Amino acid sequence: MTADLRELIRRWSASKDLAPIGAEAMIGADRRAQALGIPGARLMEHAGAAVAAAVRAVAADQERLGKGPILVLCGPGNNGGDGLVAARRLGHLGLAVVAVLVATEARPTTTDAARNWDRLAGERTVTRIHAAVPRDVAILGQGVEKASVVVDALLGSGVHGAIREPIRSAVELIGRARESMVPVVAVDTPSAVDLTSGELSDPVARADLTVTFHRPKTGLLTKRGAALAGRVLVAPIGIPPEADRG
């Protein structure tokens, strides 16, 4: 968890050299891994731990570590669940974290993500916030330039066209943070660049660094996807070779 960016790049280099896959192939590998007995909660834990390591490394690299809270913007699904794990892991390092559930729902909509939302309740350095409407996001955005890092864990792949509120406002907030020179780390893909085609949502987030999982993604290798993803790290999350037919 305290590795610098250079060490993470070295540690995860084998995953980056694998053949790229799209969103459907990744979903299939994830499901086959679970069928082989690897719980989805464990895969989420590994993904969130990887994100936390990258966020800490980015903050340290830019001399922002501990100089402001880490703002983790989480959607209601498993992409958000990865962000919630990252928030907990960063809190365990003694860092100030604000974990925001950006959703009309009061709780994450998947079992594993909801469990990780609940686990944050007892974390001393993590503040949980529910942003259900655009006004909540606007209030949250006041002083966003004081954040040390913003984590985009709003949306994964499969979103096309216009993004609905309140996530739309959160994506726009990410843009304002970046304009204020706050580094942005995306979970799996910037919200919402399609991991297969590179097709963009409206609006779309731009990251300085993206942590994607298991294998490189074709959508992040397209011209549009690469321009929005920034530097891409490919983190292994424990999916065994026999689960991967891509």
Query: What pLDDT, on the 0 to 100 scale, is given for residue 140?
Result: 92
* 244 falls within a domain: no
* 245 falls within a domain: no
Residue 163, CA distances (Å) to 109, 154, 191, 199, 200 in order: 18, 11, 9, 13, 10
List the CATH number of the domain containing 59.
3.40.50.10260
* 62 falls within a domain: yes
106 class by beta-carbon count within 10 Å (0-12 exposed, 13-18 middle, 19+ buried): exposed
Query: What pLDDT, on the 0 to 100 scale, is given for residue 86?
Result: 98
* 191 falls within a domain: yes
pLDDT confidence band for 161 (50 / 70 / 90): confident
* 46 falls within a domain: yes
Q: What is d(CA 167, CA 199) in angstroms, rounded to the nearest whole number? A: 18
Query: 57: domain range?
Result: 5-239
Residue 244 has pLDDT above 90, yes or no: no
Q: Domains in the chain: how many in total?
A: 1
pLDDT in tens, 131-149: 999 999 999 999 999 999 9
Query: What pLDDT, on the 0 to 100 scale, is given for residue 246?
Result: 46
* 112 falls within a domain: yes
Residue 1 has pLDDT above 70, yes or no: no
Query: What pLDDT, on the 0 to 100 scale, is given for residue 120?
Result: 98
